[in-house]
Chains A and B, each alone.
Chain A
Amino acid sequence: MNDLYHPRSVVIKKTVIENEARDIKTFELVFLDQEEREKFEFSCGQFAMLSVAGAGESPIGIASSPLDDEYLHFTVKRYPTGVVTTALHSLEEGSEIGVRGPYGNFYPLKAMEDKNIVIVGGGFAFTTLRSTIRYLLHDKNRSRFKDITVLYGARTPGELIYKSELKQWEERDDVNMYVTVDRGEEDWKGRVGLVPNILSEVAPSSENSIALVCGPPIMLKYTMPPLLDLGFSPERIITSLERRMSCGIGKCGRCNIGSKYICKDGPVFTYKELRELPEAAV
């Protein structure tokens, strides 16, 4: 009997509180059995089901790069009504949890080679984009991609996640970083402005380019028009969808949109595919 629904045991090695509201936490997970990490082959954009025994499972995007081969990162937002996310946040370092996956499709890393990459992220939906940026900027990979532009925004400076990494990337000369917030604060010296507006200002070239966009539905909605205006065709705009999920493998019916299952046929879709889905959020 195969073990399709059986989680693998992992230990929380480290946790990082990412935001001022203290409801977004990154979990560094290490497999009890390192062989399981090797079997857990994934690509940027995929997700896994995290489980806390007694609370249940929840689908979470993988935030570490496939090349981070000793651990997995998952950045989880705790919602007051979210049973699993609340349980996860209450766990101490050293606790054991379950991981099942990886699931879903991924960003088209192969097709992105020799192209300019424009990454647009918003809020806490930056997780699988962070996985991708780590992957693209890795010494082994950087030369295979042309210009890399990252535009990332959050509502307030305190809500920006992966702050130390953002800083590291800003210091590099092989990536164009633009970090913005909707509302500034007294000591905020960076950009202020909504992601779609900053995108129009920065105006990255669409020539030989692919855009990866991930953010809250409202940001996606207003980011598509400027991208189209810049000349990105709908099949060169890649995004990632979210839906409530239970099985992660296209059987439980929950994340069904049209004839697609977000967990299996997605979560990554081109804007072209997205527009053909009947219920899509954008």
Chain B
Amino acid sequence: MRKGDRLKEKIIKKEQIGKWLEKLGKDYEIWAPVKKNGLVSFYPIQSAKEIYFDFLNSKKTPKDLFFPQSEVLLSFPKEEVGKEVKTILQKPRIIFAIRPCDAKSLALLDQVFDSEDYQDPYYVERREGILLVGLACTHPQQSCFCTSVGGGPFEKAHLDLVMADLGDGKYFVEALTQLGEGLMQRDDSLQDVQEKDREKLAKTKEEAEEKVKSKLVTKGLEKKLDKIFDSPLWDRVHQRCLGCGICTYLCSTCHCFALLDEKDKARVKRIRNWDSCMFPEFTVEASGHNPRISNRERMRQRVMHKFNYFVERYGETACVGCGRCIQSCPVNIDIREIIEEIRNE
């Protein structure tokens, strides 16, 4: 370890976090996991007291901070096209306690929305200057499989700063970017790291990684998928599927959307809503023709897009192993089982 690196690591006591965030709150809007009505999601907070630190992961992904489930893109008085109404945020944001898997998903979404040819202005404007403060996963769940898709409970990629709960009332804090370092330096009461903290961190990390029980072999999966487009496997894996779309709505990498108009007496709004490849209407054309006629084709599209098409286009799997689709599927469809079936096909 280089000498400078130690300066980028600090220890913060749990009771100090409130003070630290208070300082950060002067310049940033802080979004953190908050439990409301039994569900954990990211909300803007005024005080660290609102944060629910013991969350496993949020029910919904934080992607909607950049790509809201519904947003007005344009609004115009009737029959007057092209008048812009600006709706984007003013103050820079920190997403506090984002999980490593969700941070990775944002990097994947960046490739789609902030591509070389067309930059989606709404996404890019929200994303610019956003700081990601990660919270390592010390309690991965049964449905987690991040380590099978290139991630890990203590993965640092795409974060500005990462924190890990050492279990003794202390958090290990590591700055990963200059901006992250800036956040750390806002509070001079953060303590220096002791050797035993470092040992504790290594042990906590190892234990967390062991808790990720699912070990899928995803190497070569995209090549395999190339060959089984017409396999009878697709007749089987969709059978239980209700086509409810929850897997895509809660997915941290799904990004399909629909543009549509809403109007009332005064004005017309062009709205962007999340959409889902699991819905029949997703591909149905004005003529009535639908190139994906059943759940079979739609399920295949979802799997192929994540594990084959996206890999071919962007070089990475469009799945971060967060397991939300597994937890929330009403008929217990498990993407891990589908991957296994594909491998055995």
Inside 8 A of A242's CB, which chain B residues have their CB? 285
Q: How many A-B residue pairs have CB under 8 A?
A: 129
Inside 8 A of B112's CB, which chain A residues have their CB? 251
Interface residue ranges of A1-59 to B (CB < 8 Å): 1-9, 51, 53-58
Interface residue ranges of A226-258 to B (CB < 8 Å): 242-244, 246-247, 249-254, 256, 258
CA distance A254 to B274 in the complex (A): 11
**Chain A binding surface SS class:** loop
Inside 8 A of A258's CB, which chain B residues have their CB? 304, 309, 312
Q: Do A54 and B259 have beta carbons less than 8 Å apart?
A: no
Q: Is B81 an interface residue (CB 8 A)?
A: yes
Q: How many of A's residues come within 8 Å of B, CB to CB?
A: 44
Q: How large is the interface on B (under 10, 10 to 19, 20 to 34, 35 or more residues)?
A: 35 or more
1/0 per residue B288-300: CB within 8 Å of A? 1001100001000
- A7-B82, A264-B117, A279-B291 given as contacts; is B261 within 8 A of A55 (CB)? yes
Q: Is B313 an interface residue (CB 8 A)?
A: yes
- A56-B261, A98-B81, A258-B309 given as contacts; is B115 within 8 A of A4 (CB)? no
Q: Is B113 an interface residue (CB 8 A)?
A: yes
Q: Is A259 an interface residue (CB 8 A)?
A: yes
Q: Do B259 and A85 have beta carbons less than 8 Å apart?
A: no
Q: How far is the CB of B78 from chain A (nearest CB, A)?
A: 6
19 sample A-B contacts, Cβ–Cβ < 8 Å, listed by A number: A6-B74, A6-B82, A8-B81, A8-B82, A51-B270, A53-B263, A56-B270, A77-B287, A246-B259, A251-B120, A252-B257, A252-B259, A253-B256, A253-B257, A254-B256, A254-B258, A254-B275, A254-B282, A264-B117
Taking beta carbons and an 8 Å cutoff, which residues of B are in contact with A?
73-74, 76, 78-82, 84, 86, 88, 112-113, 115, 117-121, 125, 229, 255-261, 263, 268, 270, 275, 277, 282-288, 291-292, 297, 301, 304-305, 308-310, 312-313
What 20 additional pairs, Cβ within 8 angstroms, besides A54-B78, A249-B117, A251-B113? A3-B121, A4-B118, A4-B120, A5-B270, A53-B76, A53-B261, A53-B263, A77-B287, A84-B286, A98-B81, A98-B82, A247-B259, A250-B115, A250-B118, A252-B256, A254-B282, A256-B301, A256-B309, A279-B291, A279-B297
